[in-house]
Amino acid sequence: MLALAAHSLAAQAAARTILVYGDSLSAEYGLARGSGWAALLDKKLREMRIDYSVVNASISGETTAGGASRIAAELARVRPSIVIIELGGNDGLRGLALGATRANLDAMIRAARDSGARVVLCGMQLPPNYGRDYTERFRSLYAELAATHKVALVPFFLEGVGERRDLFQADGIHPTEAAQARILDNVWTVLAPLTRAAKR
């Protein structure tokens, strides 16, 4: 009986999954397969012998409305222990209503937490040409949501990357392969405490 219980616990540990739920910044847009930050995270976890696998359900062009519409299906499919939400950038670039963006992110956080998963919310920022009021309110909504729901926050997903033109592809929007390790560092700083219990 004890052996069976130990086997069951080991199986549960091995089944721990991190769901990366984002847009093109996480979907390896313009990059070689396996070179994006989510793939680097999966590799890091294996190297550190931490019992989590990574499922990347990111879609290029995704908005928070699209993310909110499919979150229930992804949670049921993956059954993650941790959900990393990296969405909102496309809303901002399109100048969408911030109230809708906030409501969609709120819905995704609630769905993930209701499923039993812990959440890491990745904060985003916009270029100043979108107007000071809009860009400031956009930036602050991530911290406000993280505080409301008491979830982990990456203050700025592209910290250390956003100000360096050489780390972006020709479109000026999508980071290059050289930027992926820094992006992972930004996420890992916040994610690491959530994974420590799974280290074997």
C-beta of residue 107 within 8 angstroms of C-beta of residue 68: yes
CA-wise closest residue to 100 among 60, 143, 67: 67
**166 given a catalytic annotation:** no
83 bridge partner residues? 19, 119
Q: Please count the residues of the chain.
A: 200
CA-wise closest residue to 152 among 98, 103, 84: 84
Of 24, 26, 58, 115, which one is the catalytic site residue?
Answer: 24
Of 53, 60, 106, 174, which one is the catalytic site residue?
Answer: 174
Of 8, 149, 171, 185, which one is the catalytic site residue?
Answer: 171
**42 given a catalytic annotation:** no
**149 given a catalytic annotation:** no
CA-wise closest residue to 161 among 136, 137, 187: 187
d(CA 87, CA 106): 12
Catalytic residues: 24, 171, 174
